[in-house]
Structure 1
Amino acid sequence: MNTKQLERIQHANGFIAALDQSGGSTPKALLQYGIREDRYTNEQEMFTLVHAMRTRIIKSPTFDSRHILGAILFENTMDLTIDGQFTADYLWEQKGIVPFLKIDQGLAEPNNGVQLMKPIPGLDELLKRAVQKNIFGTKMRSLIKEANPGGIHEVVEQQFAFAKQIAGYGLVPIIEPEVDIHSSDKAQSEKILKDELLTHLSTLGKDVKVMLKLSLPAEDNFYSELIQEPHVVRVVALSGGYTQAEANEKLARNHGLIASFSRALSQGLSDEQTDDEFNALLAKSTQAIYEASIT
């Protein structure tokens, strides 16, 4: 584990940029960016276009360590380069931004009011490659749709089983049990989830460090106990389908919680914008998300 990166993630002001749209969500991310599906004919062309989009964001002069602590990458992005450097090395050496890697393979079918992660075949090999590529931590997402205690227990149990495996490689896992913002019993799900997280955190070895990525809570400052928990490096919030303005407004009311936004970060960015237009909008977004993250 890189101690300079750990110190930065744990104590510095800023937020985490989520640039990890995967195979299933890439067409949606490209469409939001103004690239329709008729612009590519296969997966390779699609990933080339999305890497160009991510490269444009990362290389923007406004995407820097004044506002941004870390960036979450898709596996394909980790294996590609920016200006001749692997993406993780470019982020850290040129920008001072800590690189993370999305490792999950998507969600399983709904059961017990939740969607667990699909199995992750070859995870050990992926984690070895992540270490070789100078990745600091990982991210994996589950989804909670109902306040089902059994289902939520399964979600947290699966997340922590993977987290222990990941920590064994010296990487810091981001545990992401997202609660659906449209859930009719979201607040109750969050209560059950918090209790499960606190229980599972208490089982970790004293030197194991994790991060938590959670939905913006129904009750302000609801996750303050998790933010103070000794194993937790940082608690970050996902935008979860809120607009950037909505997400920032909710985030600003939660002290110590910082953003890890994807759609809310890239909202309004377009392939057709000039570099000046693109950079100006990204600067406005990063400033607004930063300000909401330092409350």
Structure 2
Amino acid sequence: MNTKEMTDKIAAGQGFIAALDQSGGSTPKALAGYGVSEDEWNGEDEMFAKIHDMRSRVITSPSFASGKVIGAILFEKTMDGEVDGKPTADALKDRGVVPFIKIDQGLADEENGVQLMKPLTKLDALLEKSVAKGMFGTKERSVIKSANPAGIAAIVAQQFEVGNRVIDAGLMPILEPEYDIKAADRAEGEDILKAEILKNLETLADDRQVMLKLSIPVKANLYKELVDHPKVLAVVALSGGYSTEEACAELAKNDGMIASFSRAMLQDLRAQQSDEEFDATLGKAIDSICAASVA
């Protein structure tokens, strides 16, 4: 797939984006959920080898190439690795899956009700490498904890600043100002978030687009204006701690939003499953997430 084909595929939205981008801090928990305990690996290199094995198994599973997964977000070490003897990005594109790369370096301490991204000290080098490896886009995460107007304005401004650097490098940014689904004031805060995103979209040049990855809103179709905005290629939803069933039920209420789920897609996969059991389990999750995305 070339850039135009990948852009068209994401814009059409006939499926969902798989999030396979657990990084160092979240990898042990992801492995434990997969049935791989900490006594089965020793040190960071072995840990990442185990998670790469899991991701490779997902990517090479027949159900992953069913056409219902239209994109996948990778961690840098996954991008640097190989699947089926090919660079991971190429292996994904062979299966009709558009590759993205996670670029943030973790979260800063909470201030004004939000956690901004830590300084992206490796961004320029990572963007250059990502372009060379054939990636289509990037993803950057920060977190909103409460409906603090100053904090939300700061988090959206940072997302767009980094997004413009990504576009300058020739890639498509997914901006992810995640709203904590457990926040008591989320409905109020999501109104503020939407207004700030719309304000920042107006500052984008007319020939620029971004993608947005947002928590499924409390008010159904709150983000429809963003879905329809000419400077937004797609709006994708994170599962945010919901189970697969809960996330799909909530997502189906929102026209035009498609899923970009991680735990909700992988929660029932186990290392101990046979290949047939693994593919059947993954296929069931993929079917339900896709159905909610295109509902």
- Superposition TM-score tier, normalisation by shorter sequence: over 0.9
Please identify, of 204-213 and 54-63, the stretch whose mean Cα deviation from structure 2 is larger. 204-213
CA distance in 2, matches of 1:235, 1:252: 14
* Alignment gaps of 5+ in structure 2: none
> Retained in 1: the 8 A contact 2:13–2:258?
no
CA distance in 1, matches of 2:151, 2:224: 24
CA distance in 2, matches of 1:76, 1:121: 17
Give the corresponding residue for 1:259.
259
CA distance in 2, matches of 1:235, 1:69: 14
Give the corresponding residue for 1:42.
43
Give the corresponding residue for 1:23.
24
User: Runs (4+) of structure 1 moved beyond 4 Å?
Assistant: none
> Is 1:67 the counterpart of 2:85 in the alignment?
no
Give the corresponding residue for 1:3.
4
CA distance in 2, matches of 1:182, 1:59: 35
Give the corresponding residue for 2:177.
177
Post-superposition offset of 1:84: 1.7
After superposition, the C-alpha distances for 1:46-103 in whole angstroms (9 at most, x for unaligned) are: 00000000000000000015201100000000000112211001100x2010000000
Task: State the AA in 2 paired with 1:110.
Answer: E
> Retained in 2: the 8 A contact 1:65–1:97?
no
Report the RMSD for the aligned CA atoms in angstroms.
0.8
After superposition, the C-alpha distances for 1:195-216 in whole angstroms (9 at most, x for unaligned) are: 0000001100111111000000
Post-superposition offset of 1:12: 4.0
Task: State the AA in 1 paired with 2:193.
Answer: L
> Retained in 1: the 8 A contact 2:137–2:174?
yes
Give the corresponding residue for 1:103.
103
CA distance in 2, matches of 1:64, 1:121: 35
Task: State the AA in 1 paired with 2:169.
Answer: Y
Give the corresponding residue for 1:209.
209
* Alignment gaps of 5+ in structure 1: none
**SS state of the match for residue 288, structure 1?**
helix
> Retained in 1: the 8 A contact 2:13–2:234?
no
How many positions carry a matched residue from both structures? 294
Give the corresponding residue for 1:142.
142
Give the corresponding residue for 1:126.
126
Give the corresponding residue for 1:200.
200
Task: State the AA in 2 paired with 1:264.
Answer: A
Give the corresponding residue for 2:230.
230
> Is 1:289 the counterpart of 2:289 in the alignment?
yes
> Is 1:88 the counterpart of 2:89 in the alignment?
yes
